[in-house]
Homo-oligomer: A and B are copies of this chain.
Amino acid sequence: MARSLGRIFRGFQSLGSLAFMKSELSNPPASVSLKSMVQTLPSLFSSNPRDFSLPNPSWGTEMRQLYEHYNSQCEAVTDGGEEQSGLWKRLPSYNRSLKYAAGGVYLSKIIQAKARLFTRNIRDPGAAFEYVIFANKKEQRCVCIFQAGHLLEGPPGNVHGGAIATMIDTVTGTHACVHSGPVMTANLNINYRSPIPLGSTVLIESSLDKKEGRKTFISCKVTSADGARLHTEATALFVSISVGQLMKG
């Protein structure tokens, strides 16, 4: 059971922002709980989907170097099958949240088959969002390496504020899921300090501020790859939900 729950939460890590419904939160449906969903779920990750968080030829030098920096400190499984501990854990990323979060087949009536996760909806490598997220449970923080492609333009030559908001939502939402299980975004408060040039690689670092009941508070900053320049700062509030609530949508 613990293992299945872990898989579900890892699936949710790719969701990004989930808006929440106040009325449902105050009256959670007892009949479709997370527990009952888990008991009926099929085996997950059975079709070997593409993991978008792995390196591809579009990644520039900075992106690759930062990836290696964190990946070399990750927990791993040795050839002998033993688990090696590590400071960090790389989180996989797919282009459809549902089938990894809840098996997919049970929700086919309400979800169009062609739906794709917003941040992974363009297959051309390097054109849009290239990113990988690492989680550090001990220090309760996450780091995302993000290379912004040419399809994310807002101001001429710079990344669109909405694309920056999207990545902030994705990283803080993933962080909240790692810490609290399935959540939905309740608030994002973003201060834009300096533009991010198209094509550049930046670091998005999130830290856990506090957890109060169903609420998880996360802070986040976006800096240049060397950390010298602050691009964006944000706070985010997430509210825990059950899988049943999410499916009621």
User: Which chain A residues have a beta carbon within 8 Å of chain B's beta carbons?
Assistant: 15-22, 96-98, 101-102, 107, 110-112, 114-119, 121-122, 128, 150-170, 173, 184-199, 231-232, 246-247, 249
Contacts and interface: CB of A to CB of B under 8 A. Distances in A.
A187 B184 contact: no
A15 B160 CA distance: 8
Contacts of A111: 156-157, 198
A98 B17 contact: no
Given A150-B116, A162-B167, A188-B188, A155 B246 contact: yes
B173 A184 contact: no
Nearest to A233: B187
B116 A18 contact: no
A16 B185 CA distance: 22
A207 to B, nearest CB: 20
Contact of A19 (B15, B115, B156, B196): B196
A160 B98 CA distance: 13
25 contacts: A16-B154, A16-B162, A17-B155, A17-B192, A20-B192, A21-B195, A22-B193, A97-B156, A115-B157, A116-B150, A116-B151, A160-B169, A161-B166, A161-B169, A162-B162, A163-B166, A165-B165, A165-B169, A166-B166, A184-B192, A184-B195, A187-B190, A187-B191, A188-B190, A197-B249
Contacts of A102: 156
Determine how many copies of this chain the complex contains.
2
Given A17-B155, A160-B169, 6 more contacts: A17-B154, A19-B231, A21-B195, A115-B150, A115-B153, A156-B247
Contacts of A16: 154, 160-162
Main secondary structure of the interface of A (DSSP, over half): mixed
Contacts of A184: 155, 192, 195
Nearest to A101: B156
Nearest to A17: B161
A1 B196 CA distance: 32
Given A169-B161, A249-B195, A155 B19 contact: yes
A12 to B, nearest CB: 9
Nearest to A18: B155
Which has the most chain B C-beta neighbours within 10 Å: A21, A161, A169, A247?
A: A161
Contacts of A158: 18-19, 249
